[in-house]
Amino acid sequence: MTLPLPPGFLWGAATSAFQTEGSLAVDGRGESVWDVFARRPGAIEGGADGSVACGSYRRWPEDLALLTELGLGAYRFSVAWSRVMPAGTGRVEPRGLDHYERVVDALLARGIVPVLTLNHWDMPQALMADGGWAGRGSVAAFAEYTRAVADRLADRVEWWITQNEPWVVALLGYQLGLHAPGVADLRASLAAGHHLLLAHAAGAQVLHGFPRTRVGAALNLLPCVPATDSPADAAAARGSDGYCNRWYLDPLLRGGYPADMRAHWERAVGDLDVVHDGDEAAIAGCTDFLGVNYYTRRVVAAAEPGPGRPFPWRVVGPAGDLTRTDDGTEVHPGAFGDLLVRLARDYPGTPLLVTENGGAFGETPTHDGRVHDTRRIDQIRSHVAAMAAAVAAGADVQGYLYWSLLDNLEWAMGYRPRYGLTYVDYPTGRRTIKDSGRYYAELVRTGDLPEPPAVAPFG
């Protein structure tokens, strides 16, 4: 099957700084919220932290060599805010910028397009003195940080992602306390989500002062489907979609927060005084492309609000004998294709860049030294096929960046889940390209979908 993709389509892979770099106390790096969160007993599975991770701060030339070996044309990585501004604002640490400049120059020398993320969840801990993302001062701090990075790199980097998955930061970091900084406060989560969007706008304003920059935010989008055909479940799915998706999509791409979700928030927390006059106008119209992170769909049923449930819906999960990843996530490529078509329909004229897609599959090296991860191969094939069908239906998808290039620290789940095209032996740091990486390389090389090994296809 030849893929009907546009000329110049970006095939690549993605990582983030905290999940891969290690070397937390070198070259003047300050503490991030994840450094502090990891020291909480039980916060990260197995007592893990990011002190070593994949060792990529030192071993980055090996990682770039992997990209070349796989024939990939783009690499999404993140800059660690704490390496550039150890206190979040003020003094700029040149050694941090020197490191990322070396990475960018080496990528360009290899003919690989850098896709640079500014905030992949690792805010400097010093900014928690003002509430972190729940404090409005975070917006000015992010703009200052963006200026420092752009002054050094915007002459060579075209693709910029300001924020990674603001809904996840707000939900897990500030509403449920399951991610850094470990705050559990509904109103704080509302403020955090809003300030992340405002910071996107402030960063975009800085970046648009440089020629040829393209600025987007990467949203973790979850197609929300009703558990049954009942009107109540349909309304619940619509509400959940407002909470996960439209609360971020609409201000970025339509000019303001959706009215139905405003009403849900007002019932839950009262006045939305965190949204000041002029904020929605500032957020609107500054996004050049939308980053799409897709992993699965969300099956929702109606439910009465109560303790721990501020909104009238609950996630019930899909029923039946389904294909799942090792962490229990349903694999549903059809929802991915439908999502891309929906984005093209609801937000016309918005270029889309798939900034993450993947799954946790834990195969390890066998007696021959190879990693035969046939499940990941089928995940790649089925999702790329769904993306190609969406492009044929009119979705303006300009690239696909697989998550992840490397097995890495999967946040609060520690090192157990493996998402990489490359197996990382954590005690030694040794990298081994998995069979899925070889498959992906062949797909990229030929522009076709190679036949997978003989395994049951995903539905």
| Digit-coded pLDDT (tens) for 371-401 | 999 999 999 999 999 999 999 999 999 999 9
Report the distance separating Cα 327 and Cα 358, nearest Å: 12
> What is the average pLDDT across 73-101?
98
pLDDT higher than threshold 70 for residue 458:
no
> Which residue type is seen at 413?
M
- pLDDT beyond 90 at 45: yes
Per-residue pLDDT at 453 exceeds 70? no
> In the structure, what pLDDT confidence band is assigned to residue 320 with cuts at 50, 70 and 90?
confident
- The pLDDT of residue 432 is 98
**Could you give the CA distance from residue 184 to residue 118 in angstroms, rounded to a whole number?**
25
Average pLDDT over residues 77-85: 98
Q: Tell me what the mean pLDDT of segment 211-230 comes to.
A: 98
In this predicted structure, what is the pLDDT of residue 208? 98
Q: Given CA atoms 428, 429, 434, 436 in this order, what sign does their dihedral have? A: positive
Residue 58: pLDDT above 90? Answer: yes
d(CA 9, CA 2): 14
| Residue 455 falls inside a structural domain | no
Rounded mean pLDDT of 425-435?
98
Sign of CA dihedral 69, 75, 78, 83: positive
Phi-psi region of 88 (alpha: psi -120 to 50; beta: other; left: phi over 0): left
Instruction: Identify whether 318 is part of a domain.
Output: yes
146, with CB counted inside 10 A (0-12, 13-18, 19+), is buried
Q: What does the block give as tokens for 361?
A: 């599959």
Query: Dihedral of CA 254/255/261/263: which sign?
Result: negative
For the segment 185-207, the average pLDDT, to the nearest whole number, is: 98
Residues annotated catalytic, as ranges: 165, 356
Q: How far apart are CA 10 and CA 32, in angstroms?
A: 31
pLDDT of residue 2: 82
User: Does 454 score more than 90 pLDDT?
Assistant: no
In the predicted model, is pLDDT for residue 91 greater than 60?
Answer: yes
Q: Is the pLDDT of residue 437 over 90?
A: yes
User: In this structure, is residue 163 part of a structural domain?
Assistant: yes
Compute the average pLDDT of residues 122-131: 98
Q: How would residue 456 be classed by pLDDT, with cut points 50, 70 and 90?
A: very low
Domain that holds residue 131: 10-446
pLDDT of residue 422: 98
Q: Is the pTM of this model over 0.95?
A: yes
pLDDT reported for residue 166: 98
Mean pLDDT of the chain: 97
Residue 458 lies in a domain: no
Cis peptide bond N-terminal to 138, omega within 30: no
Q: Which uninterrupted H or E stretch holds 358?
A: none
What's CA 256's distance to the chain center, in Å?
A: 22
Q: Mean pLDDT, to the nearest integer, of 31-47?
A: 98
Q: What is the pLDDT confidence band of residue 321, given thresholds at 50, 70 and 90?
A: confident
Q: What is the pLDDT of residue 13?
A: 99
Q: Report yes or no on 453 lying in a domain.
A: no
Whether the pLDDT of residue 367 is over 70: the answer is: yes
Q: Residue 111: inside a domain, yes or no?
A: yes
The pLDDT value given to residue 451:
85
Alpha-carbon gap, residue 219 to 294, rounded angstroms: 9
Number of domains in the chain: 1
Q: Is residue 419 part of a domain?
A: yes
Residue 3 lies in a domain: no
Q: What is the CATH number of the domain that holds 418?
A: 3.20.20.80
- Give the whole-angstrom CA distance, residue 420 versus residue 436: 9
Q: Is the pLDDT of residue 459 over 50?
A: no
pLDDT at 262: 98
DSSP annotation of 269? H
Instruction: Give the rounded percent of residues in the chain with a pLDDT score beyond 90.
Output: 96
pLDDT at 455: 38
Q: What is the pLDDT of residues 139-187, one digit of tens each?
A: 999 999 999 999 999 999 999 999 999 999 999 999 999 999 999 999 9
